[in-house]
Amino acid sequence: MEVSLARGLEAGGYYNLAKLLWALAYADEIRRSQIGGVPSGEEPLVRDLIALRQELELSGATTETLSYLDRGIRGVANRAELLWGDAGEIAVCRACGHLLLGIVPDRCPGCGAWPLTFRFFLPVYFLEPLDPGGAVQALEATPRIVEKLLEGLTREQAAMPSAPGEWSMREGLHHILVTEVLLSGRVRQILETDHPKLAGLAAWAERLEGDLGGQEIVRRFRESRQATVERLRGLSLEQWQRQGEHEEFGPVTLLQQASYFARHDQSHLAQLEKIREAALA
């Protein structure tokens, strides 16, 4: 009901009320996904994806959609993300709901709508571009926040997992450091090379080696992030729009990369807060 009402309100020019209905529809989807639990691990994901594929086939989904799902299911089963060449763009026509996969056409095949009316779906919301100043501000703020989260913890507490199989503060901070090193390299590549190839990296899988303590991790993170922020500060709009070719995401701008890592930072802060609470309990 929310989506139908939202579209009706938009048609009538009641845009600010429409945005509430769109938000309610999205919030409802998130809440309902939590009820049965979000599947985790390759086996449950593959099982549920196969069940979804069967439902879609029965409901008349296009061969193109089913083929895309098949490629994705094989990828999950083999613990391999679809690369851009196998994925391409995904959009939905806002006028008629037509699903557009791969190379998106200039006009909707369903209703003839023009391309600026399409809604494009990014691989992850992290890539939604912030304004340049907001991206820099968010990136600059993270070192101070993680320093406060580590403050008062002993070396033993920083190395203590919050629960069996979960990260310790030290491991969580190391993950943030790994992604900062990745960001600094991406910034350099995009600014110094035209359309560089950007390799995907599963940063969560990078394990902490040696006896690196939490304080040393935070020091390295702070210094690297400061250098990154200084390089980003004062870039022209043209420089922010320079692109790289990401093997999973396709063409990405420097602004999208900065936004990605700023959002990534904040996606882990609540997790680090819980780790700290567990260590001090």
Q: Is residue 45 part of a domain?
A: no
Mean pLDDT of all residues in 261-275: 96
pLDDT digit string, tens, across residues 207-261: 556 678 899 999 999 999 999 999 999 899 999 999 999 999 999 999 999 999 9
**8 Å CB contact between 100 and 89:** yes
Q: Is residue 41 part of a domain?
A: no
Q: State residue 206's pLDDT score.
A: 54
Q: State residue 208's pLDDT score.
A: 56
Mean pLDDT of all residues in 79-104: 92
**8 Å CB contact between 156 and 169:** no
User: How many domains, in total, are found in the chain?
Assistant: 2
Confidence check: pLDDT of 88 > 70: yes
Residues 143 and 105 placed together within one structural domain of the fold: no
Structural domain boundaries, residue 263: 127-280
**pLDDT band at residue 119 using 50, 70 and 90 as cut-offs:** very high
Q: Is residue 61 part of a domain?
A: no
Q: Is residue 22 part of a domain?
A: no
Q: Is residue 40 part of a domain?
A: no
Confidence check: pLDDT of 149 > 90: yes
Handedness of CA 133, 136, 142, 143 (dihedral sign): negative
**8 Å CB contact between 234 and 136:** no
Q: State residue 81's pLDDT score.
A: 87
Q: State residue 121's pLDDT score.
A: 95
Boundary residue ending a domain (78, 100, 121): 121
Q: Is residue 44 part of a domain?
A: no
Q: State residue 162's pLDDT score.
A: 85
Q: Is residue 54 part of a domain?
A: no
pTM above 0.85, yes or no: yes
Q: State residue 281's pLDDT score.
A: 84
Residues 94 and 165 placed together within one structural domain of the fold: no
Q: State residue 202's pLDDT score.
A: 65
Residues 107 and 225 placed together within one structural domain of the fold: no
Residues 134 and 217 placed together within one structural domain of the fold: yes
Q: Is residue 235 part of a domain?
A: yes
Q: Of 5-14, 30-39, 169-178, 263-272, which range is least confident? A: 30-39
Residues 102 and 143 placed together within one structural domain of the fold: no
The region, left, alpha or beta by phi > 0 then psi within -120 to 50, assigned to residue 29 is alpha
Boundary residue ending a domain (79, 99, 121): 121
Boundary residue ending a domain (79, 98, 121): 121
Average predicted confidence (pLDDT) for the chain: 93
Residues 131 and 116 placed together within one structural domain of the fold: no
Q: How many helices (H) and strands (E) does the chain have?
A: 11, 6
Residues 104 and 184 placed together within one structural domain of the fold: no
- The two tokens of residue 166 are 């979960």
Q: State residue 40's pLDDT score.
A: 87
What percent of the chain stands above pLDDT 90? 84
pLDDT digit string, tens, across residues 170-220: 999 999 999 999 999 999 999 999 999 998 776 555 555 667 889 999 999
